[in-house]
Structure 1
Amino acid sequence: MRVVERGGDQATRRVVGRGGLGLPGAVHKPVDRWRLSDTVNDTRGNNLTASASVSFVSDATRNSKVLSLPGTSDALVSTAGQSVDTSGSYTVSAWAYLANTNGYSTVVGQSGTNTSAFYLQYNKQYNAWTFVMPSNDAASPNTWSAAYAKTPPALNTWTHLVATFDATTGAMTLYVDGKAAATATNSSPWASTGPLTIGSAKTGDYFPGRIGDVQLWKTALPPAGVTALNSPQPVLTQLS
């Protein structure tokens, strides 16, 4: 089934003054956004395809429907192709509600041939929310750059996750609930040409729980921009 829309509509144009997310003008508009709140919203641009095991459930905390995933291999949500150039700068954000820590659980990734170019995930090794970038597209990459939080995740709780990558400096930053939680460096990013995946990665890592409002930008948002993302929704305003 086809689900929810790309970030080109009025609802994505979140305005906090005209500078938006700490960037000039309309540069803050995400290249892709899926609110994951309904199966019948308009579809345009990078549409998602979801398997039959994926469902949308009402969530009182989010005050909307959200994507619900059982954490199994038959629950797949993905685009037809890439969302961002992972060899360049980018930002990915999502709301995640993790049901258990039984295994690696990816909220968002973007696939290459053998692995994903990035993983925004719960990482079993670190027992923490983690932003991971492998050094090359191989079944066993040479190195794994990882920015991971220093505390375990809160289960059955909505958590706002943001990962930024600055290709100029190689800086990776993970934000948890609007605050910088960890940094790392990746000097060898590579461009993945496969689909963006929500609730899984190229290597599996199926997410058990709920996911809402996934957004991507072709730039590394500054800290002020990330803070604005984690703030209460401003009044939606049409930009002319």
Structure 2
Amino acid sequence: MSVGLSVVLPKRGYPTVASPGDVNSATGGPDGKPDLYATDIAGQLTEYPGAAPSGTTAAFDAPVSLGTVTDTAAHRWKLDDGTGTSAADPTGNSPATLTGGASWTTDTDRGTALNLNGSTAYAATTGPGVDTSGGFTISACVKLNSLSGTNSTFVSQSDDPSVGAANGFQLYYSSGSGVWAFGRHNDDTTSTAFTAAYGAKAVAGKWTHLVGVHDADADRLLLYVNGRLSATKAYAGTTWNAAGPVQFGRRLFQGTYGEYANGRLSDVRLYATALPPADAAAPGGNPALTQLG
């Protein structure tokens, strides 16, 4: 039996079209309906989320732009090493060392991931990942163990300890509001002033894709949660660069580390630019596409 398609994609304009099966939905997870992906001649990836079929004709919801196929990350820690105390960064050659009880764990959804115990566990590089005085983007897949307790910072970049005592960015769970957040300290001093974009309500026990964007040209912070713009906030601080190491599972505040993450962390990427909306909203792990026909 042949199956018709309600989506017409001319091969000349879309040289790659594929369906890896049911991998996504409007709410972020599988929904029992196969999805379709296509790349155009400019390298832009588009998703057609599956909808209920009409007879023998497959149906799809409105297309969603997923950005460019080529990943432009300056650093990428997949955090799937599985053994040892080093998390590799083959993209940017800045490995992170596991410390304080941080360990590898096997997750039923994502395979090997970094396990953080919420009190002492973290991993850190030896130097900075991006210049935080300019535009940059941080992307990570996180799984929070509990909504109770204190804030859980999954990724941050510290100031140079010989210069200041703050963080240049912080991707975290805000326990006081119960939401995901992306923020940065307003300067490199011990003041308490910071700016944060507070987004969607956090859910424990579920993998969530977070993307924080610092748009230096517009002086604002943007937070994407599971592919959707969740919050924006005008940055109220000064232009400054946090020249210290990247931290996985904690953040620096007034010269002291804290807010140890209670959860799991996977696939962290750092970009030295503020990604455009289509790229910032892209899922953390796009499926591989295969030429059809």
Same fold flag (TM > 0.5): yes
**Structure (1/2) with the larger helix percentage:** 1
Partner of 1:200: 250
TM-score of the pair, normalised by structure 2 = 0.68
Measured after TM superposition, the shift of residue 79 of structure 1 is 0.4
User: In structure 2, what residue type is equivalent to 1:32?
Assistant: H
SS of residue matched to 1:225: helix
Residue 115 of structure 2 is aligned to residue 68 of structure 1: yes
Partner of 2:137: 91
Paired with 2:182 and 2:280, the residues of 1 have a C-alpha distance of: 15
Partner of 1:50: 98
Q: CA RMSD in A?
A: 2.4
Contact 2:78–2:88, Cα closer than 8 Å, also in 1: no
**Which structure's CA Rg is the greater one?**
2
Paired with 2:268 and 2:131, the residues of 1 have a C-alpha distance of: 17
With a CA cutoff of 8 Å and minimum separation of 6, indicate the structure with the bigger relative contact order. Answer: 1
Partner of 2:81: 38
| CA 185–157 in structure 1, closer or farther in 2 if over 3 Å, else same | same
Structure 1: gaps spanning 5 or more residues: 1-14
Structure 2: gaps spanning 5 or more residues: 1-37, 46-65
| CA 42–195 in structure 1, closer or farther in 2 if over 3 Å, else same | closer
Residue 196 of structure 2 is aligned to residue 146 of structure 1: yes
Residue 273 of structure 2 is aligned to residue 222 of structure 1: no
Partner of 1:189: 239
User: In structure 2, what residue type is equivalent to 1:99?
Assistant: N
User: In structure 2, what residue type is equivalent to 1:206?
Assistant: Y
**Structure (1/2) with the larger strand percentage:** 2
TM-score of the pair, normalised by structure 1 = 0.82
Paired with 1:215 and 1:201, the residues of 2 have a C-alpha distance of: 17
Paired with 2:287 and 2:187, the residues of 1 have a C-alpha distance of: 38
Measured after TM superposition, the shift of residue 230 of structure 1 is 4.2
Measured after TM superposition, the shift of residue 144 of structure 1 is 1.6
Measured after TM superposition, the shift of residue 184 of structure 1 is 0.4
How high is the sequence identity, in percent, across the aligned residues? Answer: 33
User: Over residues 185-231 of structure 1, what are the superposed CA-to-partner deviations in whole Å (9 max), with x where a residue is unaligned?
Assistant: 11523101110001111231100110100001011111211232346
User: Over residues 97-150 of structure 1, what are the superposed CA-to-partner deviations in whole Å (9 max), with x where a residue is unaligned?
Assistant: 001131011010000131111110011232211011111112224x3211001x
2:184 to 124, 133, 139: 133
2:128 to 75, 82, 87: 82
Contact 1:119–1:201, Cα closer than 8 Å, also in 2: yes
SS of residue matched to 1:126: coil
